[in-house]
Amino acid sequence: MVEFLARVREYFPILLQGAWLTILVTLGSLALSTVLGMVWAVMRVSGIPLLANFAAGVINLLRGIPIIVLLFFLYFVMPDFGIALTALQAGILGLGIAYSAYQAENFRAGIEAVDHGQVEAARAMGMSWPLMMRRVVLPQAVKIVLPPYGNIMIMMLKDSSQASTITVAELALQGKLIATSTFQNATVFSLVALMYLVMCVPLILLVRHLEKRNKT
């Protein structure tokens, strides 16, 4: 036990640096996926066939491409077109773009769940479509999508480990490097799993709280 704690004290600072990058990748990609997802969702429900079909095509394309392939494309292929991204930038962009498809479907479901009678009332009052979306539909849709949005946050936190495939030294990669050099696989990966759990538990509790509040 004493030896285990000594190893934990030795490895923890390095893993903590990786955890910080994990959080940075998660927050960056979450912000990007939220903005893009809202754009795709609004285009889907705009009623304009060209925009709706374009957004649907983008969503289906992104859902059909594995995240790791998208990361490889951004990091290894884009330099061929004169766009060189750092590993961190590619990781945030890749995860953000990939998850924007799932965010879009989440937002679209929330928008379509708003009572249609309120939409008709807003139109009867002479509200323009953008004004109606901003004042009537989106405020209600946000409350509806918060619980699944929290679940997406948890998934993104865990999937941030895929950024290690393009050399982002986040938590999973730091753990792998330490385990490779020390052969202390059980200790290192137990600590890595515990750190992921510590980061996920507050989000899990938040989702549970939002789900309960949404039912009341």
User: Mean pLDDT for each 10-residue chunk of the chain (216 residues)?
Assistant: 73 89 94 95 90 94 94 94 93 96 92 81 80 81 84 90 88 88 86 91 83 68
Label residue 36 left, alpha or beta by phi (over 0 means left) and psi (-120 to 50 means alpha): alpha
Q: What is the pLDDT of residue 216?
A: 60
Pair 97, 156: CB distance under 8 Å = no
Distance CA(101)–CA(114), nearest Å, equals 21
What are the sequence ranges of the domains in the chain? 2-215
Q: Which residues contact 74 (CB under 8 A, 6 or more apart)?
A: 85, 90, 93, 94, 166
DSSP the chain: -HHHHHHHHHHHHHHHHHHHHHHHHHHHHHHHHHHHHHHHHHHHTSS-HHHHHHHHHHHHHHHHS-HHHHHHIIIIIGGGGT----HHHHHHHHHHHHHHHHHHHHHHHHHHHS-HHHHHHHHHTT--HHHHIIIIIHHHHHHHHHHHHHHHHHHHHHHGGGGGGGT---HHHHHHHHHHHH--HHHHHHHHHHHHHHHHHHHHHHHHHHHHHHH-
CATH number of 2-215: 1.10.3720.10
Q: What is the pTM of this model?
A: 0.88
